[in-house]
Structure 1
Amino acid sequence: MVESSPTTEDRFSEGKVTFEKITGLPANAFLDGLENVAPAFGRFVMEWEFADVYGSSSLDLKTRETIMIAACAALGATAAPILKLRIGSALRAGVSRQEIIDICIQVGIPAGLPAALSAIQIAGEVFAAVKNPS
């Protein structure tokens, strides 16, 4: 028997649900932000990142969000908006504020102090906007 793979529409729907669960934000708001510029890319993000990758990873959510913070922090200013989003997602996944700061500090070793400092400043902005003191 040949197992059928999920349809693109199934993956898109699954990705939207996962996006909302992880980020706490409406998927349609994210997609609307790309609608006039790159609507296919928004769909790709939902299907690939949030349905395929997040849907089949052996890593727990806290570990995945920790990795996302480290990678985005290492990219520096290029990834600043996504870093801000992922810090919020990490807090939702149970990563503590101190762990987030420690991740940013560790990034300073391979990526440099400017990248670490920028990431710490972004973390401070997210912390100030989030009421949960964890």
Structure 2
Amino acid sequence: MSAKHSNRRTQALALLEKLEPGAPERVAKNLDDFHCEAAEILLGFAFTDVVAREGIPLKVREMLTVAMLAAMGTGPGQLEFHMRAALNTGASHDEIVEIVLQVAVYAGIPAAMNAITAAKSAFMAR
């Protein structure tokens, strides 16, 4: 079995489907167009090895991911995706708002302003 079609890849894409229906096809194509093992390596690590762990519920993991991406301020596309994923896994509109306000305190107003832009897009997508 090639790395491109491994069980690890399959598990990662299945979890990605839970986060946002339809996302696995887009993400896998993007990564496969870059390199045949990129999805196995990147998604396998992120979604199979870490996010799929049982120690924290998926909703909480997504809320944490939103906070970290918002604080980093370097991945607007990923931030918006994970805001939608948080909503898809049970986080509420109000919880996303509270995360963004918390980001303002610890990461600064510019990070929060960028997160507000992503949140507005994520809310509109629903």
State which of 71, 81, 86 in structure 1 corresponds to 2:68: 71
Report deviation, 1:61.
1.0
Report deviation, 1:75.
1.1
Report deviation, 1:43.
2.3
Structure 2 residue identity aligned to 1:121: T
Structure 2 residue identity aligned to 1:91: L
Q: Give the CA RMSD over aligned residues.
A: 1.7
Distance in 2 (CA, whole Å) between partners of 1:17 and 1:120 is: 29
Report deviation, 1:39.
4.2
Report deviation, 1:38.
4.1
Distance in 2 (CA, whole Å) between partners of 1:52 and 1:10 is: 12
Q: Could you tell me whether the CA contact under 8 Å between 2:9 and 2:39 is conserved in 1?
A: no
Report deviation, 1:59.
0.2
Aligned residues: 123
Q: Are residues 1:28 and 2:28 paired?
A: no
Report deviation, 1:110.
1.7
> Residue 91 of structure 1 corresponds to which residue in structure 2?
87
Report deviation, 1:55.
2.2
Q: TM (normalized to structure 2)?
A: 0.88
Gaps in structure 1 of 5+ consecutive residues: 1-7
> Residue 96 of structure 2 corresponds to which residue in structure 1?
100
Distance in 1 (CA, whole Å) between partners of 2:97 and 2:22 is: 23
> Residue 45 of structure 2 corresponds to which residue in structure 1?
48
Identical-pair percentage: 30
Report deviation, 1:45.
2.4
Distance in 2 (CA, whole Å) between partners of 1:123 and 1:26 is: 18
Report deviation, 1:62.
1.2
Q: TM (normalized to structure 1)?
A: 0.83
**Moved runs in structure 1, 4+ residues, more than 6 A?**
none
Distance in 1 (CA, whole Å) between partners of 2:108 and 2:50 is: 29
Gaps in structure 2 of 5+ consecutive residues: none
Q: Could you tell me whether the CA contact under 8 Å between 2:32 and 2:38 is conserved in 1?
A: no
Distance in 2 (CA, whole Å) between partners of 1:41 and 1:114 is: 32
